[in-house]
Amino acid sequence: MKTQGKYGVTATAAAQVLCEDVRNFSTRRRNILYLMHRYLVENGYYTSAESLKTEGRLSNEYELCDNIDLDGMYLEYASFFNMKFGKYPKILKKVGPKVKVEMVGKVQEKKETKETKETKEPPKRPPVSEASLANWHLGVGAATAALSNEPLQIVKMETSAEVSGQENACEIEHGHLGSDDGLFSSLDWQSLAQLVKSSILQENIKIRWSDVCGNQRAIELIKEAVLTPIEFPQLFVHGLKPWRSLLLHGPPGSGKTFLAKALYSETQGRVTFFNITASIMVSKWRGESEKILRVLFHMAAKRAPSVIFLDEIESLTSKRDRATDHESSKRFKNELLQLLDGMEHTLNGVFVLASTNLPWDIDEAFLRRFEKKLLVQLPNPAERSCLISRLLGSSVSLNPRLLDKLVEISDQFTGDEIRLACKEISMHRVRCATKVDRSMASPKESQASIEANVEEAFRQVRPLGQKLLAKHEQWQHENGS
């Protein structure tokens, strides 16, 4: 079948050339040497890489393509082998015990006599592996014994592992040395660990606790759970442990995620912050979601102190008695319940922070796992005044009368809705500055016109918080802590 490409015959010819390169032995040898050279350089073996370049006669005429990597080819081969044979390839194996061949009789005596007469040291040979040397001695000894009719004595010698008392040393498989951490010994678990590692925040966010208007109770609880154990570890002795989990609930836009951002910014460099979403946790493969959960909590414990932030947690922890729940969803929830508060009490230094807009949709078993459940309140008049002054102080001159009017209009507004109203005012000034007829200078707005536009921008916002606030307050009264 001819290769179908954009350039017709050219694509067919290129495919034939590539096929010949793959089948050609000298080309394969050259490519392998370049792969080895790149691998040595990337891992810091510069002397070995220079020696390989000299002995292999590698020139600067060629270089590896961007999408070619020896480690990637290794992993692809292991995956192909597993898909074809149902198991991963075993690359290395333990070296067998040394075999020492001793000749009993005249041949050995003649050899000893000859060695005592020799005063000149034999020339040094290049190093040979122990297994190859043992096989060579065995073959030569057997041939000599057959010629001389002398008995052949084979003595088993101790290996280096037996001498050091490490007879049950872990095998090196797939390039990873065995250790006491057996969770990541499999290639599948390592790929899941890379997926979870991608959820660790590395962004440079500049938010301080002073930027949060209100919600002082939530800030105090978060500091008690994360910062206090770091700054005063001597206080948590004799069984006393900091808060392990906190559930923040409230109307949309009340500042739950903003609190998590402030926590990340204040603890950046001291705490590992995992930002977990449903796209990371849910997998289409059977049983993989539960494995991702276990890898997440295992990595969080290894990198403690750490924070696991679960935004919109109701999507992962809905009630389990629903008829529409799938079996995989139930397994995932059971695994999460077991990790949050099960037999494995190894989550020292791990703080679980979750947020939700619908706490009444969360299963009761998950609610019990959260030690603190707190309502993120809407800003009061003093907090709204501070927030409006901070957002509009640089663009609009706010007199006390206008500020009091805006505070009155923004009653039952969330913090995000106040931000949107202030953004509308700023965008109105942008519209005035970017009129179509720029040749004519725009007339300067009067103070009365500015105040009217500011009030109109605030009146355009339809607050959603007041619809859900009463329901959140009732739920906090019944289930909060």
Assign residue 293 the CATH number of its domain: 3.40.50.300
108 and 131 share one domain: yes
Asked which of 348, 375, 402 is the last residue of a domain, the reply is 375
Question: Does residue 441 belong to any structural domain of this protein?
Answer: yes
More confident position, 465 or 167:
465
CA distance 223 to 246: 12
Question: Does residue 173 belong to any structural domain of this protein?
Answer: no
Question: Does residue 290 belong to any structural domain of this protein?
Answer: yes
pLDDT digits (tens, 9 = 90+) for 108-158: 555 555 555 454 454 554 554 444 444 444 444 544 444 455 554 545 554
Assign residue 435 the CATH number of its domain: 1.10.8.60
Question: Does residue 170 belong to any structural domain of this protein?
Answer: no
Domain that holds residue 331: 194-375
Question: Does residue 15 belong to any structural domain of this protein?
Answer: yes
Q: What is the pLDDT of residue 43?
A: 83
110 and 221 share one domain: no
Residue 103 has pLDDT above 60, yes or no: no
206 and 322 share one domain: yes
224 and 319 share one domain: yes
Question: Does residue 299 belong to any structural domain of this protein?
Answer: yes
302 and 388 share one domain: no
- The pLDDT confidence band at residue 247, using thresholds 50, 70 and 90, is very high
Q: What is the pLDDT of residue 343?
A: 59
Residue 179 has pLDDT above 80, yes or no: no
Question: Does residue 2 belong to any structural domain of this protein?
Answer: no
Q: How many CB atoms lie within 10 A of CB 178?
A: 12
231 and 337 share one domain: yes
Question: Does residue 414 belong to any structural domain of this protein?
Answer: yes
Q: Percent of the chain at pLDDT above 90?
A: 9
- The pLDDT confidence band at residue 182, using thresholds 50, 70 and 90, is low
pLDDT digits (tens, 9 = 90+) for 29-58: 888 888 888 888 888 888 898 898 888 888
Asked which of 22, 49, 68 is the last residue of a domain, the reply is 68
Total number of domains constituting the chain: 4
Q: What is the pLDDT of residue 438?
A: 56
Average pLDDT value for residue range 219-235: 90
396 and 348 share one domain: no
260 and 344 share one domain: yes
Round the average pLDDT of the chain to a whole number and report it: 76
Sign of the alpha-carbon torsion through 230, 234, 237, 240: negative
23 and 141 share one domain: no
pLDDT digits (tens, 9 = 90+) for 380-437: 888 888 888 888 877 777 788 888 888 888 888 888 888 888 888 888 877 777 775 5
